[in-house]
């Protein structure tokens, strides 16, 4: 080899590239070895696909006609494609009429090479043909129960997603083009990106969707000015600083889902729903849920009702002095809100005067694609894992949602980061999507069983909260449901079914796009559209097809609706009014707790948790002329800040006093102060007080 040739090779960087590849592959080998050792006992079939596949095979064997038809169609189309491809490769150019084309919304094959280069065009059509053949094999099989059929079809689609030629360097023209352009440097950098993701995931590949270092909570996301005015073990309550001189008399309390964090509604000023609500003259409060660890293992759904929503309502009342409020619940937050409203109705608590439900399911009979993850076997497996840690790790739930849109939320980033060797780009929504939360074991298991598996919430008395039967049909306040036509998490037809449960006036709005984009749709963007009705149609599909389509955001339509209910104005309220203490600046500290910010202590066993929950021995309360020391009465479930003030002002300031009084005496005392306080359930207060005593 001449010196000039050697110099040319060195200039291309082949030698250094080879050394880098060798070094990186050694790291890959080490990481994979550690991964295999750490996960050698892992469940390789968490979705119980072996059983579903066996049932599918058995059904096909009994009625093979479907498979025969699919095979014949595939053979015919394959021969046609072979003839077209042979002609193209011999110089005839790409056939004007392809044998098969991708769906209109399929963005995987947008590179011009898939159309212009005969070899890649043949690869694409071959993949599409095989995909159609496999779909035909699994769809419409007689003898399969509906759930098994849905599971087989869903995971067949995920298999086809994974096997797309776009996911392999040698069969993706965009990747080959990049290899030529960078002389292979894209593959080296892509490998480094993969190694970093493996190390960050401690052996589990967690593909970065965005540059997380580009964002800071309170810095360039979640920036709407406000203060944290209340907190307990479940949440922080943020009150936003007014942007108008006057405000709607009724304050507005927003209940977000506890899966992911509230600031999806406050990403940037230009698309912040919370800021927009403040700008329209609402006094806005939002719940920022705690990111629970193993110490929350026994926290129940009922705790989210009483220590969560009702405690927040109490705090809003104290902060504003208003006993009438409007509320919004988003996704699971809406499910929690509906449950709380039924609980409050049963207790005679009528402070909530209107409720809005954003992409919220209450009737889980048809939960959409999420239903494939819900059956007895899968829930039992999940419960076993949660009992070991005390919670469901947020990455598992995020992985489930990502799997439902695998091409957009998994494989597109796999190609961009690893094959093309690009670094993830900053994107606020994807930053939020990557900021996962945990779910308490007891609460999450209850939620999956009672709502998804057994669909009990829509049945009168189907579930109880602290012994109170829940009946949503008893809730008669005006409600508004906002759903989105492309929602894969809360299908709009299912949300519409849940809207029928209420006995008061119901408005239903159907927006464009999906679960997030259709809700976070500011008017200034001029995107999407919506339909609206005040009469729930018997045939929702016919209504959707015939209803007037209004261009733009649904936000102003909702604002007109809620103000038409009551438009009384007061002077704008500042956080801290009415003596409410300012704890810290928004967005608060709870929302900043990530999956890595978790106690390193070992999770307690089930026996240890039960022992910790057992009542403490009855204390001996000695008579004393000295006043009882003041205790934090809000630490008792069911006592919010307002009620704590009522008790303190009437001389009840300590746990010892509550323990000595007993539940009946406490109830009588509250009723003597205000008959409306009869709604409070004091049954467990003395026992809790004893447990809190030193």
What is the set of active-site residues?
331
Calpha distance 436→446 (Å, rounded): 20
* Beta bridge partner(s), residue 403: none
Q: 373, 400 in Cβ contact below 8 A? A: yes
- Residue 104's CB is within 10 A of a number of other CB atoms, namely 5
B/e letters for 274-290, b = 16+ CB within 10 Å, e = fewer, are bbbbbebbbbbbbbbbb
**DSSP state at residue 214:** G
- Cβ-based neighbours of 235, under 8 Å, separated by 6 or more: 287, 288, 289, 290, 308, 311, 312, 590
Q: 492, 513 in Cβ contact below 8 A? A: no
Calpha distance 54→61 (Å, rounded): 11
Q: 342, 476 in Cβ contact below 8 A? A: no
Calpha distance 378→220 (Å, rounded): 40
Calpha distance 440→429 (Å, rounded): 25
Residue 393 in tokens: 């790790």
* Beta bridge partner(s), residue 532: 509
Peptide bond into 587 cis (omega under 30): yes
Looking up tokens 């129960």 gives 145
What is the chain's alpha carbon radius of gyration, rounded to the nearest angstrom? Answer: 29
Q: 236, 590 in Cβ contact below 8 A? A: yes
- Counting Cβ atoms within 10 Å, is residue 675 exposed (0-12), middle (13-18) or buried (19+)? exposed
Cα dihedral 314, 319, 323, 328, rounded to 10, equals: -70
Calpha distance 442→212 (Å, rounded): 31
Calpha distance 88→94 (Å, rounded): 5
CA-angle at 683, arms to 682 and 686, nearest 5°: 80
How far is the first Cα of the chain from the last one, in angstroms, to the nearest whole number? 85
* Beta bridge partner(s), residue 510: 483, 531
Question: What does the DSSP assignment read for 9-72?
Answer: HHHHTHHHHHHHHHHHHHHHHHHHHHHHHHTTTS-S-TT-HHHHHHHHHHHHHH-THHHHHHHH
* Beta bridge partner(s), residue 284: 252
β pairing state of 252-255 and 284-289: parallel
Three-state secondary structure call for residue 544:
helix
**DSSP state at residue 425:** P
Calpha distance 46→283 (Å, rounded): 46
**DSSP state at residue 625:** S
Residue 191 in tokens: 């490998």
Question: What does the DSSP assignment read for 137-154?
Answer: HHTT-TT--HHHHHHHHH
């Amino acid at each position: 080899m001449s010196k000039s040739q050697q110099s040319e090779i060195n200039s291309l960087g082949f030698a250094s590239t080879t050394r880098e590849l060798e070094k990186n592959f050694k790291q890959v080998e080490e990481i994979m070895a550690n991964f295999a050792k750490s996960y050698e006992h892992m469940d390789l079939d968490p979705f119980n696909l072996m059983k579903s596949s066996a049932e599918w095979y058995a059904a096909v064997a009994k009625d093979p006609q479907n498979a025969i038809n699919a095979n014949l169609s595939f053979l015919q189309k394959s021969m046609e494609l072979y003839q077209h491809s042979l002609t193209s490769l011999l110089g005839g150019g790409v056939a004007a009429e392809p044998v098969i084309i991708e769906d209109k919304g399929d963005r995987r094959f947008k590179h011009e090479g898939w159309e212009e280069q005969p070899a890649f065009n043949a690869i694409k059509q071959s993949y599409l043909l095989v995909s159609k053949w496999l779909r035909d094999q699994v769809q419409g099989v007689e003898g399969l129960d509906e759930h098994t059929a849905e599971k087989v079809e869903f995971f067949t689609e995920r298999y086809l997603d994974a096997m797309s030629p776009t996911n392999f360097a040698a069969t993706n023209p965009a990747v080959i083009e990049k290899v030529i352009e960078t002389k292979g440097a894209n593959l080296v950098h892509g490998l480094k990106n993969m190694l970093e993701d493996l190390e960050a995931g401690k052996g589990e590949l967690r593909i970065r969707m965005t540059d997380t270092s580009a964002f800071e909570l309170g810095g360039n996301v979640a920036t709407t000015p406000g203060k944290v005015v209340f907190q307990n073990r479940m949440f922080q309550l943020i009150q936003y600083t007014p942007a108008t001189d006057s405000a709607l008399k009724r304050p507005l309390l927003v209940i977000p889902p506890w899966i992911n964090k509230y600031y999806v509604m406050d990403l940037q000023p230009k698309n912040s729903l919370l800021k927009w609500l403040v700008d329209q003259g609402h006094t806005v409060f939002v719940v920022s849920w705690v990111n629970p660890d193993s110490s929350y293992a026994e926290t129940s759904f009922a705790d989210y009702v009483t220590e969560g929503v009702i405690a927040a309502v109490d705090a809003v009342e104290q902060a504003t002095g208003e006993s009438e409020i409007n509320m919004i619940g988003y996704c699971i937050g809406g499910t929690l809100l509906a449950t709380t409203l039924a609980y409050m109705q049963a207790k005679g608590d009528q402070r909530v005067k209107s409720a809005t439900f954003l992409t919220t399911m209450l009737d889980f009979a048809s939960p959409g694609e999420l239903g494939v993850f819900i059956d007895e076997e899968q829930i039992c497996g999940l419960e076993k894992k949660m009992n070991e840690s005390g919670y469901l790790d947020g990455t598992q739930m995020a992985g489930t949602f990502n799997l439902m849109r695998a091409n957009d939320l998994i494989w597109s980033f796999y190609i961009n980061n690893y094959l093309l060797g690009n670094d993830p780009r900053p994107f606020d929504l994807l930053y939020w999507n990557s900021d996962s939360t945990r779910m308490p074991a007891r609460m999450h298991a209850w939620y999956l069983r009672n709502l998804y598996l057994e669909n009990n919430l829509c049945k009168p008395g189907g579930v109880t909260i602290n012994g109170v039967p829940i009946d949503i049909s008893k809730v008669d306040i005006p409600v508004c449901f906002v759903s989105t036509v492309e929602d894969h998490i809360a299908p709009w037809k299912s949300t519409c079914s849940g809207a029928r449960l209420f006995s008061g006036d119901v408005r239903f709005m159907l927006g464009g796009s999906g679960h997030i984009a259709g809700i976070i749709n500011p008017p200034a963007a001029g995107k999407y559209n919506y339909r609206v009705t005040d009469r729930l149609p018997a045939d929702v599909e016919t209504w959707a097809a015939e209803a007037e389509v209004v261009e733009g955001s649904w936000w102003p339509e909702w604002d007109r609706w809620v103000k038409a209910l009551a438009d009384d104005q007061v002077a704008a309220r500042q956080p801290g009014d009415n003596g409410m203490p300012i704890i810290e600046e928004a967005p608060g500290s709870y929302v900043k707790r990530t999956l890595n910010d978790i106690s390193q202590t070992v999770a307690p066993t089930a026996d240890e948790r039960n022992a910790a929950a057992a009542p403490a021995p009855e204390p001996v309360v000695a008579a004393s002329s000295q006043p009882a020391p003041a205790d934090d009465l809000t630490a008792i479930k069911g006592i919010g800040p307002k009620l704590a003030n009522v008790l303190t002002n009437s001389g009840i300031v300590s746990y010892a006093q509550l323990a000595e009084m007993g539940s009946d005496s406490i109830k009588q005392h509250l009723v003597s102060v205000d008959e409306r306080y009869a709604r409070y359930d004091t049954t467990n207060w003395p026992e809790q007080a004893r447990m809190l005593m030193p």
